[in-house]
């Protein structure tokens, strides 16, 4: 059987799309995943038919810090760790979903002349994928505009797992909701989001008067919040079921998540991660979705409780228009397109 290595990590958005591609490729291959000791290890551990291999990657810092002086040595160490694993395994191809975890694996694979296919989720390319671009044969992209960056880029869209697309709200047994109210899902990302948790707490009384709310808080669940039609959860194993339940989503603007909302035709209010603690990729994603008429957005620096409530009201008022725009854009063929590219480039 041909062996395929998946790699990527740091956030769930660097892991789940790779698993969507694995799902599409099917059972005719041996799958291995090379990652760090982060959440990618926990996620892959729950997946059948894949062997996990751990390395010790180094995070690439964008700011001036003394830690950067150690990056070259740590990177070389992690490259040789990945090279040893790949040399013993002798895979036929590597599929990289990006993130700093993937960099040493891709470089080691290039040294061993193993073909590399990668994927960029965001509108602009992250630092890790800028490095990976030099070593891969093809960089698949979620957004058409990203293809302008390099002739290696091919637009495919965002790979999404079938369990996301085929979720069933009837599987959600907890919660005491009002059937006459719309359902609002609040998503902070795989690690939750303190900012979203705080603004939810500040506005919960007003929000629950208009919506049933399921709030995915991350590990830091809200304490003391108790409303009949409000359900806080640390995380959702069956995210597809919650997306099937929702009518509207309030979320950060990570590309993986918002493309899942798009695939489910869910109007969304996006509050992207501030440039103070990111490279601004979420802001770019949110602006694009807003310009396409499929989302509203509020930047953190411009946030107010009044804006939050007004935007939610506007989405409810024009919900049919948002859904119509989404149906004109949404495509669920990314996994098939990427699987085809992988098969065409197998050694």
Domains of the chain: 2-159+332-344 (3.40.50.2000), 164-329 (3.40.50.2000)
Is pTM beyond 0.85 here? Answer: yes
The DSSP bridge partners found for residue 268 are 249, 295
Task: Tell me the two tokens of residue 96.
Answer: 């990289």
Q: Is the pLDDT of residue 331 over 80?
A: no
Q: Is the pLDDT of residue 275 over 90?
A: no
**pLDDT value of position 221:** 63
Rounded percentage of the chain residues whose pLDDT exceeds 90: 75
Which is it for the CA torsion 240, 245, 246, 252, positive or negative? negative
Task: Tell me the two tokens of residue 63.
Answer: 């700011």
Confidence band of 299 (pLDDT split at 50, 70, 90)? very high
- How many other β-carbons are positioned within 10 Å of the β-carbon of residue 309? 14
State the Cα–Cα distance between residues 252 and 257, nearest whole angstrom.
8
**pLDDT value of position 191:** 58
State the Cα–Cα distance between residues 308 and 296, nearest whole angstrom.
10
State the Cα–Cα distance between residues 159 and 157, nearest whole angstrom.
7
- What integer is the mean pLDDT of 267-280? 87
Can you tell me which residue has the tokens 């010790």? 56
Q: Is the pLDDT of residue 271 over 70?
A: yes
State the Cα–Cα distance between residues 210 and 200, nearest whole angstrom.
14
Task: Tell me the two tokens of residue 68.
Answer: 């950067």
Nearest to 316 by CA among 212, 214, 215: 212
- What integer is the mean pLDDT of 140-158? 94
């Amino acid at each position: 059987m041909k062996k395929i290595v998946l790699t990527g990590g740091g956030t769930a958005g660097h892991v789940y799309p790779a698993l969507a591609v694995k799902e599409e490729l099917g059972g005719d291959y041996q799958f291995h995943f090379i990652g760090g000791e982060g959440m990618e290890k926990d996620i892959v551990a729950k997946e059948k038919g894949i062997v996990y291999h751990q390395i010790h990657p180094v995070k690439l810092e964008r700011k001036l810090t003394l830690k950067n002086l150690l990056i070259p040595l740590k990177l070389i160490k992690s490259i040789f760790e990945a090279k040893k694993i790949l040399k013993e395994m002798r895979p036929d191809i590597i599929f990289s979903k990006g993130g700093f975890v993937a960099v040493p694996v891709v470089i080691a694979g290039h040294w061993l002349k193993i073909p590399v296919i990668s994927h960029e989720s965001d509108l602009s390319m992250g630092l890790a994928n800028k490095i990976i671009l030099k070593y891969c044969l093809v960089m698949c992209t979620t957004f058409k505009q990203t293809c302008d960056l390099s002739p290696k880029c091919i637009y495919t869209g965002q790979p999404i797992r079938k369990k996301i697309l085929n979720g069933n709200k009837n599987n959600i047994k907890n919660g005491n909701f009002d059937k006459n109210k719309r359902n609002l899902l609040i998503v902070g990302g795989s690690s939750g989001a303190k900012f979203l948790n705080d603004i939810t707490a500040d506005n919960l009384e007003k929000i629950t008067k208009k919506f049933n709310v399921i709030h995915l808080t991350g590990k830091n669940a809200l304490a003391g919040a108790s409303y009949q039609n409000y359900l806080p959860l640390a995380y959702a194993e069956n995210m597809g079921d919650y997306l099937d339940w929702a009518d509207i989503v309030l979320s950060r603007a990570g590309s993986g998540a918002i493309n899942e909302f798009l695939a489910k035709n869910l109007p969304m209010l996006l509050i992207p991660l501030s440039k103070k603690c990111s490279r601004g990729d979420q802001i770019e994603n949110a602006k694009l979705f807003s310009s396409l008429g499929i989302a509203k957005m509020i930047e953190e620096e411009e946030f107010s409780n009044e804006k939050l409530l007004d935007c939610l009201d506007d989405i409810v008022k024009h919900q049919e228009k948002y859904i119509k725009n989404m149906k004109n854009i949404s495509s669920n063929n990314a996994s098939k397109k990427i699987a085809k590219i992988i098969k065409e480039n197998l050694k």
